[in-house]
Amino acid sequence: MSTKPTPPEITPLDYFAWFIQGFTITGRRTKRNSAHDYHVTCPHPDHQGERTPSLHVTLKDDRVLLKCFGGDGTCTRDDTEKARLLAAVYMTMGDLFVHDLDLDDAFRPTVGKPELRVVKATDPVVEPQPWPALQPLPDAMPAAPALTRDMLPRDLSGWVFDIAHRMQCAVDYPAVAAMVALATVVGRKVTIRPKEHDNWYVVPNLWAQIIGPPGVLKSPAVHAAFAPLYKMAADAREAAKQAVPAYEAAIAEYTLQQESLKRQMKSAVDKGEPTAGIKEQLAALRKPEEPSERRFLTNDSTIEKLGLLLVKNTNGLLIERSGWSTVCSR
């Protein structure tokens, strides 16, 4: 019986890794560009002492290609020079072809290092695998955990469960909407400081999405939970409207004061009198601020319009959208 070990089955990449090892164990610097492409310091006897890895060693199909870009350009000019180059790392021209490694053959001395082992290249060769047989999709939906009263703020839970009871809909719908409405009113006034001794703060931003088949009263449930918010929005609109006459009166007064001061200024300038006092009064005049409606929610804003709304409503806004298509189209 033969004691000769069975040569290991190796891929071209395995072989190439073994080939490259011939350079490393003889002290050459190697630079790996990929599993099939290395740059190494050239071992050619006429090209010694250079630290730049100018010899390109590339695996192409089942061949190893050598091309030296350093020295006087002759290291890999022809087979004679290539053979001289390979001899310096104890290899022959035959080693440029991928072949099984007969480990019994000591065709390459180990230069005082432990025996050469076939090393696995890091890029595995992936053989295409056939698709596994198709399986039907599992039809069992995992049960969603039930929403219970203690999951909601105490002051909201009675109201929210009452909405669900009166509508005979899932309590999740008004619960989610109520939490988002509450977050809208709180807005940026409450922040989270994740680090105790740090000024980093985060403004919580709630996103909610209600999913359900048609006819399960999603929209009515949401509208019921948004009702207080709608009321606040309507009140704010009314307040802004009420403030308009007073604003217009204040603007009239402001304009007249401005004109009067300008007249005084002109007269002082004409007479060559000091104007410092008038300038101070003019600078102190404050234009009345236009009453702006406090907005709580918007449902059809362009990004640009939303930006303007947020400038005036620094506490934040609720963006209400119905249907995923309207969300995804933005």
Q: Which is nearer to Zn ion, 52 or 92 (CB)?
A: 52
Parallel, antiparallel, or unpaired: how do β-strands 318-319 and 297-298 relate?
A: parallel
DSSP summary character for residue 36: T
Binders of Zn ion among 168-187, rule CB under 5 A? Answer: none
- Which region, judged by CB under 5 A, interacts with Zn ion, from 37-45, 220-228, 234-242, 285-293? 37-45
Q: Which is nearer to Zn ion, 81 or 95 (CB)?
A: 81
- Which region, judged by CB under 5 A, interacts with Zn ion, from 6-14, 71-79, 242-250, 257-265? 71-79
Q: Which is nearer to Zn ion, 33 or 292 (CB)?
A: 33
Among 20, 68, 147, 297, binds Zn ion (CB under 5 A): 68
Q: At what angle do helices 218-271 and 154-167 cross, to 10 degrees?
A: 130
Q: CB of 35: closest distance to Zn ion in angstroms?
A: 23
Parallel, antiparallel, or unpaired: how do β-strands 55-60 and 30-34 relate?
A: unpaired
DSSP summary character for residue 189: G
Q: CB of 14: closest distance to Zn ion in angstroms?
A: 26
- For 310, residues 6+ apart whose C-beta sits below 8 A from its C-beta are 316, 317
- For 178, residues 6+ apart whose C-beta sits below 8 A from its C-beta are 152, 156, 159, 160, 225
Q: CB of 104: closest distance to Zn ion in angstroms?
A: 32
Burial zone of 213 (CB within 10 Å; 0-12 exposed, 13-18 middle, 19+ buried):
exposed
Could you please report the per-residue DSSP string of 118-174?
A: PPPPSS---PPPPPPPP-PPP-PPPPPPPP-GGGS-HHHHHHHHHHHHHHTS-THHH
User: Does 261 contact Zn ion by CB under 5 A?
Assistant: no
Comparing CA positions, the residue from 174, 171, 164 lying closest to residue 145 is 171
Q: Which is nearer to Zn ion, 47 or 218 (CB)?
A: 47
Binders of Zn ion among 144-173, rule CB under 5 A? Answer: none
Q: Which is nearer to Zn ion, 40 or 177 (CB)?
A: 40
C-alpha triplet 243, 248, 250: angle, nearest 5°: 95
- Which region, judged by CB under 5 A, interacts with Zn ion, from 3-11, 33-41, 66-74, 316-324? 66-74
Among 30, 32, 35, 71, binds Zn ion (CB under 5 A): 71
Could you please report the per-residue DSSP string of 76-129?
A: TSSHHHHHHHHHTTT--GGGGB-----TT---S--TTSSPP-PPPPSS---PPP
Q: CA-CA distance, 176 to 151, in Å (whole number)? A: 11
Query: Is the distance from CB of 91 to CB of 40 less than 8 angstroms?
Result: no
Q: Kindly determine how many residues on this chain lie close enough to bind Zn ion according to the rule CB under 5 A.
A: 6
Q: CB of 119: closest distance to Zn ion in angstroms?
A: 25
Q: CA-CA distance, 54 to 50, in Å (whole number)? A: 9
Q: Which is nearer to Zn ion, 68 or 170 (CB)?
A: 68
DSSP summary character for residue 202: B
Q: Which is nearer to Zn ion, 51 or 286 (CB)?
A: 51
Q: Which is nearer to Zn ion, 11 or 54 (CB)?
A: 54
Q: CB of 106: closest distance to Zn ion in angstroms?
A: 27
Q: Which is nearer to Zn ion, 47 or 82 (CB)?
A: 47
Binders of Zn ion among 75-94, rule CB under 5 A? Answer: 75
Q: CB of 87: closest distance to Zn ion in angstroms?
A: 13
Binders of Zn ion among 38-57, rule CB under 5 A? Answer: 42, 44, 47
Q: CB of 82: closest distance to Zn ion in angstroms?
A: 10
Q: CB of 3: closest distance to Zn ion in angstroms?
A: 41
Q: CB of 94: closest distance to Zn ion in angstroms?
A: 21
Chain residues in the site for Zn ion (CB under 5 A):
42, 44, 47, 68, 71, 75
